[in-house]
Amino acid sequence: MPHGTTITQFISEEQRRAPGATGDFTALLNDIVTACKMISNQVNHGALVGALGSAGSENVQGETQKKLDVLSNDIFLQCNAWAGHLGAMASEEMDDIYHIPDEYPRGKYLLTFDPLDGSSNIDVNVSVGTIFSILKCPGGAEKPTVRDFLQAGTQQVAAGYALYGPSTMMVLTSGKGVNGFTLDQNIGEFILTHPNMTIPADTREFAINASNMRFWDAPVKRYVDECLAGKEGPRGEDFNMRWIASMVAEVHRILTRGGVFMYPMDAKIRSKGQGGKLRLMYEANPMSFIVEQAGGGSVIGQERIMELQPEDLHQRVPVILGSRNEVERIRQYHEEAT
């Protein structure tokens, strides 16, 4: 009896319908899938393989790296460097872009990734993930520079994430909707289990790190206050709240049952001279692409995230994404405050 559609079959059939497809993109996605399966295996084995705990180093973001941040980064580089589809890669865990070693051919795509998202959750055995984005290299296959990576999110060819949760899942978009696959550990294949994922336009659930409440800007405070006021407040509804501290897990919940996720600009972030908490190239853009493809919205406040012109590889931005009508409401609150 057939087991269902594998991710390889799904991607191949999707690409077969794409005009001028060479097979490079399909092969690149296959390598990314392999990398995520390897990371999943390490995450699953956790303490058994000595994978937990700190690596004792700091990344360019000023964060202490976990062993699994470093290991996942290495796995991603190794799985994706050799096949000849990429011009270069960039990661949350590396200061500079990674050039494809001279021993390997170069290709027309660029890959950016957050190898392990939510890494503060590793040691407590809560869901983590991997986020990636694929761009075309504007300069072709010549040696790419940082400037080649600085493309607006609207230019993304594909984006996806792997979620290492109770089951391992892969969620993908290449601009034709969003599809979810579950890893069957027995056969080592991702199987299509969540075709055409869509985000309900309305929701009664929001996610924000409320410990930052005293730093929030007025529009965010207004929105959350109104949610917290419940049935007696202006919304006339009771709201629920969630905060996992793994963006992958939050976005996956929103893709499954709706909701809003916010890591907004606040006074504390501003005082550090940062543009936000989350990274535009590794987190905000790929997740925005997925969320918009599923019918949701994604803004920094007033502006759409995917229209931002990136200025720096490691640029940080505020993120407000999820159910379309709620995101639009928060966007309006920002507009009214200016």
Binding residues: 92, 114, 116-120, 209, 277, 283
Q: Does residue 148 bind Mn ion (CB under 5 A)?
A: no
AA identity, residue 8: T
Looking at the Cβ atoms of 117 and 148, the one nearer to Mn ion is: 117
How far apart are alpha carbons 191 and 201 in whole angstroms?
27
Closest CA to 258 of 197, 177, 195: 197
If phi > 0 it is left, if psi is from -120 to 50 it is alpha, else beta; for residue 36 that is: alpha
Are residues 113 and 131 in contact, defined by beta-carbon separation less than 8 angstroms? Answer: yes
Looking at the Cβ atoms of 137 and 249, the one nearer to ligand AHG is: 249
Q: Please say whether the dihedral angle defined by the alpha carbons of residues 146, 72, 296 and 172, taken in this order, is positive or negative.
A: positive
Residues 72 to 101 in contact with Mn ion, rule: CB under 5 A: 92
AA identity, residue 47: A
Q: Annotated binding site for substrate: which residue ranges?
A: 117-120, 209, 277
Closest CA to 279 of 65, 133, 67: 133
Residue 24, CB-side half-sphere exposure with 13 Å CA sphere: 19
Q: State the nearest-atom distance from the C-beta of 40 to Mn ion, in Å.
A: 15
Q: State the nearest-atom distance from the C-beta of 283 to Mn ion, in Å.
A: 5
CA 36 to chain centre: 13
Q: State the nearest-atom distance from the C-beta of 2 to Mn ion, in Å.
A: 36
Q: State the nearest-atom distance from the C-beta of 97 to ligand AHG, in Å.
A: 18
Q: Name the binder of 169 from ligand AHG, Mn ion, none, CB < 5-8 A by kind.
A: none
Which value, to the nearest 10 degrees, does the dihedral of the CA atoms of residues 162, 146, 22, 39 take? -20
Q: Does residue 217 bind Mn ion (CB under 5 A)?
A: no
Q: State the nearest-atom distance from the C-beta of 187 to ligand AHG, in Å.
A: 30
Contact residues for ligand AHG, defined by CB under 6 A: 63, 92, 114, 117-120, 209, 245-247, 263
Over the window 39 to 68, marking each residue x when it contacts Mn ion by CB under 5 A and - when it does not, the resulting string is: ------------------------x-----
User: Using CB under 5 A as the criterion, which residues of the chain lie in contact with Mn ion when the complex forms?
Assistant: 63, 92, 114, 116-117
